Structure 1
Amino acid sequence: MRPRVVDLRVDELDWEPLGPPGLYSRLLSRDEETGARTALQRMVPADGYTAPDTAHYHHTYEELLGVSGRFSFDGRNWVEAGAYLFHPPRTVHGFASTVPEESTFLSRVGRQLDFNFVPEPAQDDLYLAEGSLPPRAPVALEKDAALDGFAPSRFLGADVEARVLSVDPETGEGSAFVRLPAGWQSMTAALPHYLEIFAISGAIGVDGGAAAPGRAYFFYPAQDRINTLEAAEPTLAYVNFGGPVGL
Structure 2
Amino acid sequence: MNVPEEILLRTKDLEWVDKSLEGLSHKMLWRDEETGASIALVRFQQGAGIPSRHEHASNQFMYCLRGRYTYVPTGLTLTEGSFYWNPKGSAHGPTHADEESVLLEIYDGPHYPVQPSWYTNPDDAR
TM-score (norm 1): 0.41
Instruction: Give the corresponding residue for 2:51.
Output: 53
Report the RMSD for the aligned CA atoms in angstroms.
2.0
Greater C-alpha Rg? 1
Distance 1:84 1:103 in 2: 14
Distance 2:52 2:83 in 1: 22
* Deviation digits for residues 168-210 of structure 1 (CA, Å, limit 9, x no counterpart): xxxxxxxxxxxxxxxxxxxxxxxxxxxxxxxxxxxxxxxxxxx
Instruction: Give the corresponding residue for 1:109.
Output: 107
Q: Write out aligned runs for 1:154-169 (5 A).
A: none
User: Which residue among 63, 66, 75 is the counterpart of 1:65?
Assistant: 63
- Give the CA deviation at 1:4: 5.4
> What percentage of aligned pairs have identical amino acids?
27
Distance 1:4 1:85, change over 3 A: farther
Aligned length in residues: 110
Instruction: Give the corresponding residue for 1:234.
Output: none
Distance 1:59 1:93, change over 3 A: same
Q: 5+ unaligned residues in a row in structure 2: which ranges?
A: 115-126
Q: Secondary structure at the match of 1:40?
A: strand
Distance 1:13 1:24 in 2: 12
Distance 1:98 1:4, change over 3 A: farther
Q: Secondary structure at the match of 2:7?
A: strand
Instruction: Give the corresponding residue for 2:21.
Output: 20
* Deviation digits for residues 63-91 of structure 1 (CA, Å, limit 9, x no counterpart): 00001110111352210111001112111
Q: 5+ unaligned residues in a row in structure 1: which ranges?
A: 117-247
More strand by share: 1
TM-score (norm 2): 0.76
